[in-house]
Amino acid sequence: PEGPVPTVFTLHGGPHAADEDRFSAYRAVWLDAGFAVVEVNYRGSTGYGSAWRDAIEGRPGLTELEDVAAVYDWAVESGLADPAKCVVSGASWGGYLTLLAIGTQPQRWAAAVASVPVADYVAAYEDEMEQLRSFDRALFGGSPDSIPAVYNECSPITYVEAVRAPVLVLAGDNDPRCPIRQIENYLDRLAAREIPYEFYRYDAGHGSLVIAETIKQTAAEVHFALRVLGLKNS
């Protein structure tokens, strides 16, 4: 269809990973529902050299979102994306970026879908497995005790007061990477502000390997976005 159209910005996890130009069933579901799909290989992604990959060190999250904002501006200015119907979505690190985006860029996003995200970085650090604590110390430049201001600046829960967009959060009860307590902390803060949100909670870990469950979750994501934006899936 001719633009501008509803658009979902799907942010990959990792952060040291990358979206590739190949078939994606997840992307196809959004396209079938009438959305344009935009993917961003933000700084921190692989495939563009070590300087690009390591550029987020010391300021993770906010650095990537500068690149997401630049691509958002291009998508709107080019006539592709309807600025009133832009959804930000992601899983794991992409879910973290999603929640950080709606707090730091509230004017851009009409809805958010965050799967297995980091939502409260300090609580996540306390509860996550030791390998990830080591990764976080390398990425941030220290622990929350040694550099609390950096963790505070880069944590989605810091910006809850600015959130405007309805949020769907999907999380596993037994997730060792993005533990459930820190997600509940974030949702409690949303509830206190009466920001509309939905919580899809399931009995698994960091995502599900069951195909039927994956299909169910993807349908929940798309239907949530259609409903929030006032659209109908033709």
Task: Write the DSSP string, 113-165.
Answer: EEES---SHHHHHHHS-HHHHHHHHHHHTS-TTT-HHHHHHT-GGGGGGG--S
Of how many residues is the chain composed?
234
Q: Give the pLDDT mean for 118-146.
A: 93
Task: Look at 35 and 209; give whichever has higher pLDDT.
Answer: 35
Of the candidate ranges 73-77, 97-101, 213-217, the one whose mean pLDDT is the lowest: 213-217
Q: What is the pLDDT of residues 54-66, one digit of tens each?
A: 999 999 999 999 9
Rg (CA), the chain: 17
**Could you give the domains of the chain?**
5-229 (3.40.50.1820)
Res. 26: pLDDT tops 70: yes
Q: What is the mean pLDDT of the chain?
A: 92
Question: For residues 68 and 40, is the Cβ–Cβ distance under 8 A?
Answer: yes
Res 176: pLDDT: 67
Active site residues: 92, 175, 206
Tens-digit pLDDT profile for residues 156-214: 999 999 999 999 999 887 666 667 889 999 999 999 999 999 998 887 667 666 788 88
> Which pLDDT score is estimated for 82?
98
Of the given ranges (29-38, 96-105, 129-138), which has the lowest mean pLDDT? 129-138
Q: What is the mean pLDDT of residues 15-36?
A: 91
Measured in degrees and rounded to the nearest 5, phi and psi for residue 150 equal -70, -45
Q: Mean pLDDT over residues 143-159, rounded?
A: 97
pLDDT of residue 234: 45
